[in-house]
């Protein structure tokens, strides 16, 4: 250490400076009041770089103890730093402090006026540091922060920073993905925090500050359930919804504030209001108050006041309001009164209510008046419902009058912890509705009349109900009965149904049933004849007779059932007969069923077997169907094969029914609707697991080529949920249309997409021959008599097929003999297909006027996504009498434009003469030609114009043409006169004659029947008559 040189008065540097420091394993300790800084095993070295003195500091142990919000905070860990000094200026180049909770890094410098500025980075947990300051607020997880710490000449210290950490807790309620900013200064001792956090799908904003020895929270977009848990009133008022805005003041254990809430999808157990709420909470006393003068709930609106005393387990609540949906009071009534509306499945309802409630411990006293209109109970409409409910010490009594156009009566009930009794002294209308309102486990629907008493003891599985009834139409477990009448009495020990008479599916039935559960005895006798099977299921037809009887002990003495079904069929009138027997051993809880029968159609008999048992709510069984004629189940004819299905049925006590098994099928012929080929010598293997069917293997042949496939199908409630099948065929020679043959490979998939069936894949044509005419319509052979199911299947199809073929597709017809390649993409449906792609050829011949034109190049492009109207571009040529004639066709197929060219050049008239006559016109001399052309041209032009002008003056649209022709060896002048007009909207008549000694007259008549069909009659110049029907088909 050396004295510093003399400085000027303006230089405020220290009177000395360290020239060299080298400390090994030293220690440092600073203590001032409650502040303590201690470093152990310190290594401190200095070195000079130019005019600056650098210090290097390392210590494995630095401990700091300081007061933070009246609490001492202790932090310790290893530290390292690099510091430089030049005069009075000090700069921290690097600072790193690694503690058990966090890592702190920083840099900074001092200013000449005595202040400093430091940038600090923080990574780790700040829980132990912030907990004394925030109290009920704390952080969890790895925090990240950057802060600027600055001090001015006056010594005021300020901190400005940004932070983020995964979780923050407020009174043990978590907020996630927290990020924000914080400011603090030593003069005001105030901290301001702005942060955002995520909870329950909301991104909330929170502003926290401390003033007047209290913490204030201004919040927005937070869950109301969080607030009620923070102030510990959730158990009394399980409020939810979204806090639009609000302010909470926290001072010690006391909370107070106001919030504005809005509705939010929440769990059913929580309340979901909208409106202002004011509250107070004393955490030490566990006492809260809350009130709202205009609170909108999901069931209506109300004014609410209440208080909750957690120490005394007491709740007082007063509410008055209107009902917009009575059914939504379910969770409120269940929470405060213990009355559940779930057994009655209340829906809708408007009216008003009042409630006065006092709850101390488990004792609950309340009085409530209700007036409700237009509600439903278990689906039964109730137009008006009015009454009173009294609750006192776990006993509830009530009386309600109800009325509806289909139901009138009164219900008087009483309920306590042991017993529920409902008496219907008068009921007119829907007796079935009464059973449903009482939530009985008897599925009855229909109108009727009678009396009823419902009684249910606590712990009983079934209520005791007695009465008599009659109904013109009643559904039992979804099964309709007509003209039903009888008497009933039931409790948990016995059930007696007597004198039951009814009509079932057009069949007449009568049944008596007595069950004694105590003695485990039963007696059953009944029959039903003439049951229409079509009434049971729309796809099954026939008439059934059933007789059933039995008596004795449960499980030991079975019920015997004999059944027969005549004229049984599924579709297309493929009728059969099913005869069988069944034995059912049951205690009317568990049962064992064994049934067998034979389905006979024509001379084919198919056995069916079923064994099923239910024991201790566990069901299991086996079944087998050996169908010898596939035509019975396939919705089209001409199939030859058989099917063997074997499966198991099981159902655990608490679970769904499980049906799984295997299906083997094989046969010689499996027809395909609207296709000229069938699958031959087919066989396959299917496994099924409930609604999931998996085609493990499938083999067949078509057109002499092998086909293999596999796939899967998933059904849910009778509808296709998932479908995928893959088929692959090789070297198949097919004749899809008359006078066509193709040899192809196919790789196809069938899958479900948007409730449609998508056929997707590739068709690779090895070779093919098309001998049909260009304008000849496309039609497949007659389908194999598909029924509604088969026709509906075709309407579901969508195509996504790529058709490719190299230079091996041949068209041979009157138009020409052309070989080419194709690359097409077929989409759309069978009724409205769409085709894109092209056909190309560079070899072949086009036939025209008894001449063969060599094809130079040809291309047919399908680029219209709305109709199949391809763009055609053909170029061909031939040689006639040393002339090279080119014949080109261009344009879309609906508006083709033929074009002729010659080399050497000829007029179109000469080209056509050369093609039709084989030679050119014989022309007269130039003088004669000039004279004749001039004369005839002038005369015919003026004559035609004058006639058409006069015809238009008379309102006639006349087409007239005079063609002067000079021909023949005798130079006989012949001309042709053509006159035509429309004499009606759809009728055109044309007359044409040559003006010579030998008249050649032509008559042409065309009547347009429709835009696509026209009738044409014609007499030609030779005197022959013809009648044609012309059909123009537009291809989509």
Tokens 């942060």, residue located: 195
Q: How far apart are the first and last CA of the chain?
A: 103
Res 5: pLDDT: 44
Please, where are the H alpha helices in 746-894? 788-795
Res 941: pLDDT: 53
Res 119: pLDDT: 94
Which token pair is 490?
A: 């039931």
Burial environment of residue 25 by CB neighbours within 10 A (0 to 12, 13 to 18, 19 or more): exposed
Nearest to 78 by CA among 49, 106, 103, 107: 103
Burial environment of residue 934 by CB neighbours within 10 A (0 to 12, 13 to 18, 19 or more): exposed
Which token pair is 219?
A: 């919040």
Pairwise CA distance, residues 373 & 371, whole Å:
7
Nearest to 738 by CA among 783, 772, 775, 773: 772
Kindly give, in sequence order, each residue whose CB lies less than 8 Å from that of residue 154, ignoring residues fewer than 6 positions away. none
Pairwise CA distance, residues 396 & 377, whole Å:
20
CA atoms within a 13 Å half-sphere pointing along the CA-CB vector of 338: 18
Pairwise CA distance, residues 894 & 871, whole Å:
9
Whether the CB-CB separation of 493 and 507 falls below 8 Å is answered with no
Which token pair is 255?
A: 């909370």
Res 1032: pLDDT: 57
Pairwise CA distance, residues 333 & 349, whole Å:
15
CA geometry: angle 1011, 1015, 1018, nearest 5 deg: 140
Which token pair is 144?
A: 């990240």
Burial environment of residue 201 by CB neighbours within 10 A (0 to 12, 13 to 18, 19 or more): exposed
Pairwise CA distance, residues 461 & 442, whole Å:
13
Pairwise CA distance, residues 104 & 146, whole Å:
10
610-625 burial by CB neighbour count: b if 16+ within 10 A, else e? bebbbeeeebebebeb
Res 877: pLDDT: 92
φ, ψ dihedrals at 30, nearest 5°:
-130, 130
Helix (H, G, I), strand (E, B) or coil at 569: strand
Kindly give, in sequence order, each residue whose CB lies less than 8 Å from that of residue 719, ignoring residues fewer than 6 positions away. none
Nearest to 845 by CA among 821, 866, 819, 871: 819
Q: Where are the beta strands (DSSP E) in 640-778?
A: 640-651, 658-670, 679-689, 692-702, 705-716, 719-734, 740-753, 756-770
Res 94: pLDDT: 92
Whether the CB-CB separation of 837 and 821 falls below 8 Å is answered with no
Res 8: pLDDT: 41
Pairwise CA distance, residues 628 & 603, whole Å:
10
Pairwise CA distance, residues 304 & 711, whole Å:
62
Segment (H or E) for 942? helix 926-953
3-state helix, strand, coil in the chain (%, to 5): 10, 65, 25
Whether the CB-CB separation of 45 and 56 falls below 8 Å is answered with yes
Alpha-carbon Rg for the chain, nearest whole angstrom, is 49
Helix (H, G, I), strand (E, B) or coil at 604: strand
Per run of 10 residues, the mean pLDDT along the chain (length 1036 residues) is: 41 55 88 84 88 88 76 85 84 91 90 84 79 62 88 83 84 83 82 84 83 82 79 72 85 84 72 87 85 88 88 87 89 71 80 89 85 87 90 84 86 81 82 68 75 79 80 77 87 83 90 88 92 76 90 92 85 75 87 90 86 88 90 81 93 86 93 82 91 90 92 75 88 85 91 82 91 63 50 73 89 87 88 87 85 90 84 90 89 84 86 76 52 51 61 60 53 64 74 69 75 75 73 49
Pairwise CA distance, residues 488 & 504, whole Å:
19
Which token pair is 69?
A: 């919000």
DSSP-assigned letter for residue 274: B
């Amino acid at each position: 250490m050396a004295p510093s040189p003399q400085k000027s008065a303006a230089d405020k540097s220290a009177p000395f400076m360290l020239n060299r420091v080298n400390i090994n394993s030293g220690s440092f300790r600073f203590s001032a009041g409650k502040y303590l800084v201690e470093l152990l095993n310190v290594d401190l070295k200095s070195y000079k770089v130019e005019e600056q003195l650098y210090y290097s500091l390392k210590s494995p142990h630095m401990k700091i103890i300081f007061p933070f919000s009246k609490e001492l905070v202790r932090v310790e860990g290893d530290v390292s730093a690099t510091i430089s000094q030049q005069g009075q200026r000090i700069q921290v180049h690097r600072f790193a402090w690694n503690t058990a909770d966090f890592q702190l890094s920083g840099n900074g410098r001092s200013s000449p006026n005595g202040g400093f500025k430091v940038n600090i980075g923080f990574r780790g947990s700040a829980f132990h540091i912030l907990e004394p300051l925030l109290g009920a607020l704390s952080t969890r997880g790895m925090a990240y922060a950057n802060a600027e710490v600055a001090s001015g000449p006056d010594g005021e210290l300020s901190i400005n920073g940004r932070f983020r950490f995964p979780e923050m807790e407020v009174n043990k309620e978590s907020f996630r993905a927290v990020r924000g900013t914080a400011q603090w200064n030593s003069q005001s001792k105030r901290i301001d925090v702005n942060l955002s956090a995520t909870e329950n799908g909301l991104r909330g904003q929170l502003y926290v500050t401390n003033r007047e020895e209290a913490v204030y929270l201004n919040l927005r977009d937070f869950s109301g359930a969080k607030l009620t848990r923070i102030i510990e009133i959730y158990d009394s008022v399980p409020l939810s919804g979204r806090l639009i805005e609000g302010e909470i003041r926290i001072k010690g254990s006391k909370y107070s504030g106001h919030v504005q809430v809005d509705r939010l999808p929440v769990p059913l157990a929580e309340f979901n209001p909208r409106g202002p709420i004011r509250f107070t909470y004393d955490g030490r006393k566990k006492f809260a108050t809350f009130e709202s003068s205009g609170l909108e709930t999901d069931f209506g609106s109300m004014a609410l006041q209440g208080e909750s005393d957690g120490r005394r387990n007491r709740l007082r609540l007063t509410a008055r309001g209107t009902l917009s949906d009575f059914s939504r009071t379910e969770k409120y009534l269940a929470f405060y009164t213990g009355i559940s509306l779930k057994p009655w499945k209340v829906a809708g309802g408007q009216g008003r209510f009042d409630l006065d409630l006092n709850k101390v411990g488990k004792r609950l006293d309340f009085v409530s008046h209700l007036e409700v209109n237009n509600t439903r109970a278990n689906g039964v409409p109730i137009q008006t419902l009015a009454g009173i409910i009294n609750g006192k010490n776990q006993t509830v009594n009530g009386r309600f009058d109800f009325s509806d156009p289909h139901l009138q009566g009164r219900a008087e009930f009483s309920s306590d912890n042991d017993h529920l009794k409902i008496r219907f002294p008068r009921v007119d209308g829907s007796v079935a509705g009464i059973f449903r309102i009482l939530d009985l486990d008897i599925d009855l629907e229909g109108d009727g009349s009678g009396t009823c008493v419902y009684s249910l003891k606590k712990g009983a599985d079934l209520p005791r109900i007695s009465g008599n009834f009659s109904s013109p139409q009643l559904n039992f477990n979804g099964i309709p009965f007509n003209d039903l009448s009888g008497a009933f009495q039931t409790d948990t020990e016995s059930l007696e149904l007597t004198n039951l008479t009814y009509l079932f599916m057009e069949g007449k039935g009568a049944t008596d049933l007595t069950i004694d559960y105590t003695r485990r005895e039963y007696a059953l006798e009944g029959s039903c004849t003439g049951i229409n099977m079509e009434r049971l299921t729309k796809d099954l037809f026939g008439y059934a007779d059933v007789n059933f009887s039995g008596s004795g002990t449960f499980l030991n003495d079975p019920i015997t059932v004999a059944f027969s079904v005549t004229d049984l069929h599924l579709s297309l009138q493929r009728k059969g007969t099913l005869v069988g027997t069944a034995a059912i051993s049951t205690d009317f809880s568990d049962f064992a069923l064994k049934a067998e029968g034979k389905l006979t159609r024509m001379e084919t008999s198919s056995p069916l077997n079923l064994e099923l048992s239910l024991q201790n709510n566990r069901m299991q069984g086996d079944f087998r169907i050996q169908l010898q004629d596939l035509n019975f189940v396939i919705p089209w004819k001409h199939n030859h094969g058989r099917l063997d299905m074997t499966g198991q049925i099981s159902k655990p006590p608490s679970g769904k029914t499980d049906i799984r098994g295997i299906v083997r099928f094989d046969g010689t012929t499996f027809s395909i609707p609207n296709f000229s080929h069938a699958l031959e010598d087919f066989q396959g293997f299917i496994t099924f697991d409930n609604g999931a069917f998996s085609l493990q293997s499938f083999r067949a042949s078509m057109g002499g080529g092998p086909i293999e496939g596999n796939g899967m199908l998933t059904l849910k409630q009778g509808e296709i949920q998932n479908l995928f099948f893959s088929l692959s065929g090789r070297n198949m020679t097919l004749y899809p249309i008359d006078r066509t043959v193709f040899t192809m490979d196919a790789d196809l998939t069938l899958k479900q997409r948007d409730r449609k069936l998508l056929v997707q894949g590739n068709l690779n044509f090895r070779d093919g021959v098309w001998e049909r005419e260009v304008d000849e319509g496309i039609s497949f052979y007659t389908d194999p008599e598909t029924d509604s199911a088969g026709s509906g299947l075709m309407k579901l199809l969508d195509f996504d097929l790529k058709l490719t073929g190299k230079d091996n597709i041949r068209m041979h017809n009157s138009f020409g003999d052309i070989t080419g390649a194709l690359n097409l993409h077929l989409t759309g449906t069978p009724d409205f297909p769409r085709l894109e792609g092209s056909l190309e050829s560079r070899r072949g011949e086009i036939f025209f006027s008894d001449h063969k034109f060599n094809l130079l190049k040809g291309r047919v492009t399908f680029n219209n996504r709305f109709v199949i109207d391809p763009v055609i571009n053909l170029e061909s040529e031939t040689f006639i009498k040393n002339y090279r004639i080119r014949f080109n066709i261009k344009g879309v197929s609906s508006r083709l434009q033929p074009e002729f060219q010659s080399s050497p050049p000829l007029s179109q008239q000469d080209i056509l003469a050369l093609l039709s006559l084989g030679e050119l016109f014989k022309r007269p001399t130039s003088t004669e030609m000039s004279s004749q052309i001039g004369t005839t041209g002038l005369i015919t032009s003026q004559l035609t114009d004058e006639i058409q002008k006069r015809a238009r003056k008379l309102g006639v649209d006349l087409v007239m043409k005079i063609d002067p022709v000079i021909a023949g060896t005798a130079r006989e002048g012949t001309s042709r006169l053509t006159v035509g007009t429309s004499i009606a909207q759809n009728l055109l008549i044309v007359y044409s004659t040559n003006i010579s000694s030998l008249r050649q007259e032509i008559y042409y008549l065309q009547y347009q029947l429709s835009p696509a069909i026209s009738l044409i009659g014609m007499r030609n110049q030779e005197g022959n008559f013809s009648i044609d029907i012309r059909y123009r088909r537009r291809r989509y």
